[in-house]
Amino acid sequence: MSDLLQKARKFEAEASGHITAEERPAFHLTPLCGWMNDPNGFSYYGGKYHLFYQYNPYHIHWDSMHWGHAVSSDLLRWEYLPAALAPDMPYDCNGCFSGSAIELDDGRQLLVYTGVRQVRDEAKKIRDIQVQCVAFGDGKDYQKYEQNPVIDSTMLPEGASTADFRDPKIWRLSNGKFCCAVASRPSDGSGQILLYTSEDGFKWSYWKVLDANKNRLGKMWECPDFFPLDGKFVLLASPQDMICQKEYSGGNGTVCIIGDFDEKTGKFTEISNQTIDGGIDFYAPQTVLTPDGRRVMIGWMQNWDSCGIREEGSPWAGQMTVPRELFIQNGRLCQKLSKEFFARKKTDVSFSKVIVENERVALNGVKGRVLHLGINLCTDSDSYSWKMRVAENDNFYTELVYRVRENTLTIDRRHSGSRRALRHIQECEILKKSSELSLEVVLDKNSLEVFVNGGEQTMTVAIYTPLEADGISFLADGKIQMDIEKSNLTF
């Protein structure tokens, strides 16, 4: 074990001891200490789910990327393991960036990640050199391969950037070969996803371009994932520098492309594209295939455009979303809460045919910061808007607004307690126009996740509101009928 990895493990063991369970969410993974961003190496190995993450144990801001590590039996209760990787080799001395994991034929777990080192170019500017590397281990301790990097600039197609070449996602083809999708920036300044193959996971060959952005959806595509689902293939990526268009918001966003894939030729034929989440804080999702055949996704519940929301002195920064099962319905990627989540849900109170009009309504027993709400709304021609406030007291609240005539759902966290003028409002156009709207709302201390109409759309936002703000209230402009069920979550 290197000195840098020993240092990180010693530091995190001491620092995490000062963070109480009350300071963390009940069932969303946070870093052991310090900073967290992209989920990495989401996999099932040795009878447990493994989730690694981009990690700076020393501070609550991005720097000197390590890999943090946690395991779980149910995707909700996580046990921290020591840091898995540190930037301790010449080829990754400026960071062990994102990647993935898979089990080898001999039973070892293989980590595939991006190593980063910085150089000065001819203009004396510092730039990254990004290469793909592997490490192998037993589910707790990992050894970097002596012949790293396994994919370097000599294996790039013509015109591809050596500075933007990262985030390998590994899987196996039906013929047993290992395949890896890697994010790349071509000469047009846009993004593309490259494919590499290997017989053993260590010696790799360039195959082809899986898909190219061609400046359609943002610029560089990061953090690809690629998998079969319900008879189609799904490519997930996180574009940088998007402009607002259709259902996509600006800045750093997410894209799902559904299409057909020919394993023999490597040809991917696009059919449709969509955003993955319509909220403020969702990026770099990664999926795992569960032992019972479900495709489950977890994303980073933050956004590069709103990272400053965490203040100095906070015990940690960054968290992951709740696990979401994926399925395709009517040609779109949909998401629902995992069955493990529902096993933890117990109905507390319910109300039917509640009329909400022009006065704010609070319902007996409907309050708290760790809960699930099932809400069905019925509207008519006189209905204009419905509002729900959560994490509410005299000083704070976060608001969910349904504008009936515009058929939009808006998250507004301006009053959640943030001291930064960041992106705090996000509007999402609802796909289906109807007199009824179904919502599932998940609250967990520092987050709000909304599932619309059975998971056709989702909206996610981080809220760092003081926990004493636990009220929930409702208001309507016009008359709206509401059925609501509040469930407690036990852990």
Positions of E strands within 20-164: 34-45, 48-56, 66-72, 78-85, 96-103, 109-120, 126-137, 142-144
Per-block mean pLDDT, blocks of 10 residues, the chain (491 long):
97 97 97 98 98 97 96 98 98 98 98 96 87 98 98 96 97 97 96 98 98 95 98 97 90 96 96 97 98 98 86 93 98 97 94 93 96 96 94 98 97 94 92 95 98 98 96 96 96 83
The pTM of the whole model exceeds 0.95? yes
Pairing of strands 436-444, 370-378: antiparallel
How far apart (Å, rounded) are the C-alpha atoms in residues 354 and 14?
51
Instruction: Give the tokens for residue 4.
Output: 């840098």
- Do residues 370 and 293 lie in contact, with contact meaning Cβ atoms separated by under 8 Å? no
How far apart (Å, rounded) are the C-alpha atoms in residues 318 and 251?
18
Q: Which domains does the chain have, with CATH numbers?
A: 3-340 (2.115.10.20), 345-489 (2.60.120.560)
Q: How far is CA 404 from CA 332, 380, 439, in A?
A: 23, 9, 14
Going by C-alpha positions, the residue among 251, 249, 248, 297 that lies closest to residue 273 is 248
Q: How far is CA 417 from CA 100, 310, 411, 412, 413, in A?
A: 35, 11, 15, 12, 8
**Sheet of 425-429: strands edge to edge?**
425-429, 408-412, 398-403, 385-392, 471-477
Instruction: Give the tokens for residue 342.
Output: 């529902």
DSSP helix/strand/coil, 276: coil
CB burial of 121-137 (b: ≥16 within 10 Å; e: otherwise) equals eeeeeeebbbbbbbbbb
Sign of the dihedral defined by the CA atoms of residues 327, 333, 334, 335, in that order? positive
Going by C-alpha positions, the residue among 319, 333, 113, 91 that lies closest to residue 201 is 113
* Predicted pLDDT at 120: 87
Q: How far is CA 39 from CA 29, 35, 321, 363, 418, in A?
A: 10, 12, 10, 37, 25
CB burial of 143-173 (b: ≥16 within 10 Å; e: otherwise) equals ebeeebbbbbeebbeeebbbebbbbbbbbee
Q: Is 38 a known active-site residue? A: yes
DSSP helix/strand/coil, 16: helix
CB within 8 A of 21, min separation 6: which ones? none
Q: How does DSSP assign 281-321, residue by residue?
A: S-EEEEEEE-TTS-EEEEEES--GGGGGGSPTT-SEE--BP
Q: What is the dihedral of CA 446, 451, 456, 458, to 10 degrees?
A: -20
Which amino acid, 211? D
* Predicted pLDDT at 77: 97
Residue 468: Cβ within 10 Å count: 11
- Do residues 407 and 429 lie in contact, with contact meaning Cβ atoms separated by under 8 Å? yes
The alpha carbon of 414 is separated from its chain's Cα centroid by a whole number of angstroms, namely 22
* Predicted pLDDT at 309: 82
* Predicted pLDDT at 291: 98
Q: How far is CA 347 from CA 325, 340, 483, 488, in A?
A: 21, 16, 14, 6
3, 38, 167, 412: which is the annotated catalytic residue?
Answer: 38
